[in-house]
Structure 1
Amino acid sequence: MSAIHEQAMNYVYQQVLQRLIGHFNRAERTALQLLIQRIVVAAGGMEQVGDYKVLVAHGGGEVSSYTLALLRAAQLSIAGRAPRTFQLRVATLRHSGMTQGTLDTLHRGYSQLFFHDDPRVELLMVENHQVLPFNHQRPASATGREVSQRNMLMMGHLSSGDVRATLCNETYLALGDFYQRVTAWDGGVHALVSGDCARKQGQLLAWLKKTAQAAGVQVPAGRPATLNGLFGRMDQWSDDIYRDLYGEHYVAKSDTSPGGHRHLAYIGIADLLDGIDRGCAPLLTEFMAYNPDPLGFHLSHPTFANPMLMAHLRGLQAESLRALDYEAGVEGFMLQAANYLRRRQVCEALITQTVSREGRAVSAQHAQRFFGLDEGQLICLLFSPFIHHGERLEGYLRQCHSGMLVALPELHKVLQGKPAAEMLQQWVTDASGLPLPLLQHLYRKRPMPGGPGSTARGCRQERSTPTADMALQLSGR
């Protein structure tokens, strides 16, 4: 970079900083100064800050978007008063529920913060266990989508059609692998910066722990001494859960890259965001042009992680399993989610549409587009008719495929692996969306006791466990 070009770029960065700070109120300016102080202290002083690299995990939510804007302001502020500033790595986990709207929001925010041409910033995406440069226009991996679909179906069947476990577990179980990869990749980072409060971190860890326990995984009583150790434990739980889920059909993923910095620091800033109404803050709504996709999956709230698709599943559940109208199931869920949807500023028109026949069609298209599942396969998942030697198979056929009742004995033979008509083998595959070997594996499996994440209360009760306390310790609160 020539001296003239460097001077021109520095001028551009100072313009970005001025525009950024122009959207700060007094509380946000104070938060910025405290964040700068924390980063400089963690780096070992202003002389060392140029060699310091921090990571923020960005999923498109308002907390991570806000955190990212503060970090950019901190990075550019330090650059204006010191020869060098810290390096910033921004990483996104691309999962099956991530919409194009969410990817566009990420890209728009990065452009507003002038990230794309700044050598001090890395923009990464992890998809199907691969670390890739961020590209909001890259099509979703076909292989990754197939794996996600299979995981979702297997988890859904073994949790007896638990809606939250079906939609959330596959994404939550990927977090340990995600953090290990993005903290170790290409020399690693020194610190993780997060705006999530300790309560939400505790809920996530409790969710993972509960899922592991439901799968019969041994959960150690002690706490990892480091953040790296915590991510390693999360990844191990995930592997153990999938090993139990698939049995002899389990395929190990590629190892995460070893190395990186041994003692990953944690810089929590949730306390700096207390009292700031992020949803209405000009920093997000005006400068970052933040516009969350109401159809997108949000990691921060497992109870309502994908509200429109969750409402659709509740509607199908009411119609197929509880002899109620589809609309009654949707309305029941939307009533539970009302406060959350208001906080996310989901428009009333979309909420009203969700309960309508048109909303059902939109939700069905959403499930087909992101998960490759039609309505019949979703209903099959909610019944979970194949587990525990097909104890629910007769009820499923009677309710959904009465014409197949005559073939019930032969369907049991198919699932037991005995010789049977090829037409019946194809029928169970088409009805479920799963290959025959996995259906035969499910036939031999018992359901997960209680269904992981089956109640919101379960997560809250877990906050006092050693695992949740570990999150409090790591966040320094």
Structure 2
Amino acid sequence: MLQPNSKLSIKAQRQAIFCELMAYLTPQDQESVRLLATKLVNMFEHGRDIGRRRVMVAYGGGKDSTYTVGFIRTVQLYVENMLGRTFILRIATMRQSGMPYSVMENIERVYLRLGLIDDITAELIVIDHDQVSQFTRDLPVPQHLHTINRLNMLMNGHRTAGDGRPTFCNSCNLSVASFYGISAWWRGGVDVVVTGDSLKEQKHYFTWIMRLAQNAGMNIEEYRELGFHGLLKVLDCVSQAYYRELFGADLDAEVPLRRVHSGFADMIPTFISIYEHVSYRVNDHWNFVTDFLGFQFDELAFSFTESDCANPALMAHLRGLKAQYVQGRSYRIGIEEYLELAKSLMVKKEMPENLIRMAISRYDNEIKICTMRHKINAFAEQAYGVSEQQFVCLVFSPFVGRGQSLPYFLQVYHPEYVTQEANIHSLLADDKQVPNNLLQLQTWLENISGMSLREIRALYRNSLVDFESNDSLIARVRVGDPHKKRIKTVDPRSGEEITELISGR
């Protein structure tokens, strides 16, 4: 327990940090701090019990959420400056396999600069799937998080031939919903959740989720009036339907492990958007984020539109592998096609020209492309336990649809196993114990795919997702996703020019 003098010292430190923060913020941001602080004080009964109130903000570790955390910390300290006491600030971070270690280093630098570590008015937590921990930079990644993320990525990738968004984002987005359910209700919950999304964006997202649920045959009327809690309930239904479709009956035990936590109906937090009050153009607060808060743009963590996730670089990698091996062109052509998409997305997000150049320049010649290929392969091995050979297998999707693409995969990538095609079909078509004469073949299949025989058999019984059809929930999710672009490419078998829709970040 802190001694009285220590308490005074910590309070004085917070006051000093507050003064520095206000000096760094623009006049417009300073006014926004004052308005939000006043709004919270009035919401919390004019501050009479504000010391027991909790305000939560999600912190992904990227440039935009770093600014948001700095802004909300300023609001918290402004309230203390007004009243002599303030609310508890809960900052929650969701980890997933695509988050490089450098993100945790960035978060620690920001927390130290804001005086948040060891501050009794701050709760700094990390959510690993369903496990809640206090933030530390070197917090070990639980094995169950790695296992779930890896299987999600491999199953989504094989079902969609390595399309970027479904492979890496669909499961992650459902995990984000569950993350909010866990962090907003943890240990008595929070009173307010602060978000950077506009009210228009929130309404659009709510409407899209409800429509998606309705199209999946769900009765959503009972959830419409339950606000955030109701939305999470609906997302749980969507999640369960999504994973039942993704995994199939063979892996049905995996589905309940991926529920969306929805909290409790009797303690639903209020959402407050700061979108109208602040600018999310990076240049408007570049010095605040980089100089004052110490945010650094790491080579892997800063991948195209993201500054806290290496998955977009993995999406580019998959596109390169598909062009090289499936389409018989070259890795570089695939990368260039992905860069075309990524640049359009960065421009749409109003990213500064210097950041766009920084992201694109990593691929502007053959040597740099080879260097990035090596780095992203090393990251994939470390983060997902997946090799380049296993990613090549994924972009061929040789097992789905009862091995529809298996002959082409063997012919192009493993000609030494062409004569084993019938045995592979025999091995995957049923659930019988593997005979001794096929044990070596089983080992080979598991090595080249990175999946167990049971998981490969589940793929064999499921089809490749048809994105031109509305019969699949996985396809319907991509229909509402704006992160895609049509490009001209070449059909590997006919040699004819075709138009292909690719997605990414």
Q: TM-score, normalised by structure 2?
A: 0.83
Residue 398 in 1 paired to residue 411 in 2?
yes
Q: Matches of residues 342-353 of structure 1 in structure 2 within 5 Å?
A: 343=352, 345=355, 347=358, 349-352=361-364
- Which range moved further: 392-401 or 140-149? 140-149
- Which range moved further: 284-293 or 39-48? 39-48
Matching residue's letter, 1:386: F
Match for residue 416 of structure 1?
Answer: 429
2:46 aligned counterpart, secondary structure: coil
Deviations 1:317-375 (A, max 9, x none): 11112221100110121132225286382625424368522222112112112111111
Structure 1 residue ranges without an equivalent (≥5): 463-477
Structure 2 residue ranges without an equivalent (≥5): 485-505
Matching residue's letter, 1:442: L
> How far is the alpha carbon of 1:205 from its aligned partner?
6.2
Q: Matches of residues 318-337 of structure 1 in structure 2 within 5 Å?
A: 318-337=323-342
Match for residue 52 of structure 1?
Answer: 53
Relative distance call for 1:300 and 1:171 in structure 2 (3 A) is: farther
2:141 aligned counterpart, secondary structure: coil
The answer to whether the 8 Å contact 1:157/1:384 transfers is yes
The answer to whether the 8 Å contact 1:193/1:269 transfers is yes
- Of 252, 270, 281, 2:286 maps to 281
Match for residue 494 of structure 2?
Answer: none
Matching residue's letter, 2:271: Y
The answer to whether the 8 Å contact 1:160/1:384 transfers is yes
- Which range moved further: 225-234 or 203-212? 203-212
Deviations 1:213-270 (A, max 9, x none): 9xx8434454353112212322332233223323342232397595586221001001
Matching residue's letter, 1:73: T
> How far is the alpha carbon of 1:161 from its aligned partner?
2.4
> How far is the alpha carbon of 1:277 from its aligned partner?
4.3
Relative distance call for 1:202 and 1:400 in structure 2 (3 A) is: farther
Q: Matches of residues 110-149 of structure 1 in structure 2 within 5 Å?
A: 110-149=111-150
Relative distance call for 1:207 and 1:95 in structure 2 (3 A) is: farther
- Of 236, 253, 257, 1:253 maps to 257
> How far is the alpha carbon of 1:93 from its aligned partner?
0.5
Match for residue 465 of structure 1?
Answer: none
1:45 aligned counterpart, secondary structure: helix
Q: Distance in 1 between matches of 2:328 and 2:278?
A: 46
Match for residue 384 of structure 2?
Answer: 371
Q: Matches of residues 161-240 of structure 1 in structure 2 within 5 Å?
A: 161-198=162-199, 201=202, 217-220=216-219, 222=221, 223-240=224-241
Q: Distance in 2 between matches of 1:148 and 1:279?
A: 35
1:96 aligned counterpart, secondary structure: coil
The answer to whether the 8 Å contact 2:363/2:369 transfers is no
Cα RMSD (Å): 3.1
Q: Matches of residues 292-311 of structure 1 in structure 2 within 5 Å?
A: 292-296=297-301, 306-311=311-316
Relative distance call for 1:173 and 1:406 in structure 2 (3 A) is: same
> How far is the alpha carbon of 1:439 from its aligned partner?
1.0
Matching residue's letter, 2:292: F
Relative distance call for 1:456 and 1:242 in structure 2 (3 A) is: closer
> How far is the alpha carbon of 1:35 from its aligned partner?
1.4
The answer to whether the 8 Å contact 2:99/2:310 transfers is no
Matching residue's letter, 1:423: Q
2:116 aligned counterpart, secondary structure: coil
1:27 aligned counterpart, secondary structure: helix
> How far is the alpha carbon of 1:168 from its aligned partner?
1.3
Corresponding residue pairs, total: 459
2:355 aligned counterpart, secondary structure: coil
Match for residue 466 of structure 2?
Answer: 449
Q: Distance in 1 between matches of 2:440 and 2:207?
A: 44
Bigger relative CO (Cα 8 Å, ≥ 6 apart): 1
Q: Distance in 2 between matches of 1:305 and 1:160?
A: 20
Matching residue's letter, 2:442: Q
Match for residue 20 of structure 1?
Answer: 21
- Which range moved further: 336-345 or 51-60? 336-345
The answer to whether the 8 Å contact 1:168/1:305 transfers is no
The answer to whether the 8 Å contact 2:362/2:369 transfers is no
- Of 436, 447, 450, 1:433 maps to 450
The runs of at least 4 consecutive aligned structure 1 residues that moved more than 6 Å come to: 202-213, 297-302, 453-457
> How far is the alpha carbon of 1:438 from its aligned partner?
1.4
Deviations 1:166-195 (A, max 9, x none): 111221121222111111111111111011
Match for residue 500 of structure 2?
Answer: none
> How far is the alpha carbon of 1:40 from its aligned partner?
2.0
1:147 aligned counterpart, secondary structure: helix
Match for residue 108 of structure 2?
Answer: 107
Q: Distance in 1 between matches of 2:212 and 2:160?
A: 10
Q: TM-score, normalised by structure 1?
A: 0.87
- Which range moved further: 292-301 or 328-337? 292-301
2:165 aligned counterpart, secondary structure: helix
Deviations 1:34-59 (A, max 9, x none): 21122223323222322221110110
The answer to whether the 8 Å contact 2:401/2:464 transfers is yes
Match for residue 2 of structure 1?
Answer: 3
Q: Distance in 2 between matches of 1:461 and 1:244?
A: 23
Relative distance call for 1:224 and 1:163 in structure 2 (3 A) is: farther
Q: Distance in 1 between matches of 2:123 and 2:266?
A: 17
2:55 aligned counterpart, secondary structure: strand
Residue 362 in 1 paired to residue 366 in 2?
no
Matching residue's letter, 2:319: R
Q: Distance in 2 between matches of 1:219 and 1:101?
A: 41
Matching residue's letter, 1:398: Q
Q: Matches of residues 15-94 of structure 1 in structure 2 within 5 Å?
A: 15-94=16-95
Q: Distance in 2 between matches of 1:381 and 1:149?
A: 13
Q: Distance in 2 between matches of 1:299 and 1:37?
A: 37
The answer to whether the 8 Å contact 1:58/1:92 transfers is yes
Q: Distance in 2 between matches of 1:145 and 1:237?
A: 23
